[in-house]
Amino acid sequence: MVSGAPSSSVHASFITTTAGLNRQTPPMRLFEKAKRFGIWNPSDLDFSQDIVDWRRLSALEQEVLLHLTSLFQAGEEAVTADILPLLLTVAGEGRLEEEMYLTTFLFEEAKHTDFFRRFLDEVVGAQTDLSHFHTPSYRAIVYEALPTAMRRLLVDPSPAAQVRASVTYNMIVEGVLAETGYHAYLTALERNGLMPGTCRGVRLLKQDESRHIAYGVHLISRLIAADDRLWEVAEETMNDLLRPALGVVADIFGSYETMPFGLDESEFANYALAQFQKRLERIERARGASLEEIDRITDRSIELDDA
Ligand code: MN
Ligand code: FE2
Q: What string of H, E and C letters represents the secondary structure of 29-59?
A: HHHHHHHHHCCCCHHHCCCHHHHHHHHHCCH
Range name among 108-122, 169-183, 291-305 with the lowest pLDDT average? 291-305
- 173 and 272 in contact (C-beta within 8 Å)? no
Centre of ligand 2 from the C-alpha of residue 125, in Å: 26
Is 80 exceeded by the pLDDT of residue 127? Answer: no
CA 95, CA 155: separation in Å to the nearest integer?
19
- 68 and 184 in contact (C-beta within 8 Å)? yes
CA 278, CA 282: separation in Å to the nearest integer?
6
DSSP 92-111: HTT-HHHHHHHHHHHHHHHH
Is 60 exceeded by the pLDDT of residue 306? Answer: no
Output the pTM of the full model.
0.95
Cβ-Cβ contacts under 8 Å for 232 (sequence gap 6 or more): none
Centre of ligand 2 from the C-alpha of residue 11, in Å: 31
Residue 1 is predicted with a pLDDT of 41
The three-point CA angle 276-114-69 to 5° equals 50
Is 80 exceeded by the pLDDT of residue 126? Answer: no
Relative to the alpha carbon of 111, which ligand is closest?
Answer: 1
Protein residues within 5 Å, CB atom, of ion ligand 1: 109, 112
Residue 269 is predicted with a pLDDT of 94
- 24 and 99 in contact (C-beta within 8 Å)? no
Relative to the alpha carbon of 214, which ligand is closest?
Answer: 2
**How would residue 6 be classed by pLDDT, with cut points 50, 70 and 90?**
low
Relative to the alpha carbon of 76, which ligand is closest?
Answer: 1
Q: What mean pLDDT comes out for the span 6-21?
A: 87
CA 29, CA 75: separation in Å to the nearest integer?
26
The percentage of residues in the chain with a pLDDT greater than 90, rounded to a whole number, is: 88
Higher-confidence position of 128 and 155 = 155
Q: What mean pLDDT comes out for the span 259-270?
A: 92
CA 81, CA 289: separation in Å to the nearest integer?
33
Centre of ligand 1 from the C-alpha of residue 179, in Å: 10
Relative to the alpha carbon of 72, which ligand is closest?
Answer: 1
DSSP state of 258: S
Q: How high is the mean pLDDT of the chain? A: 94
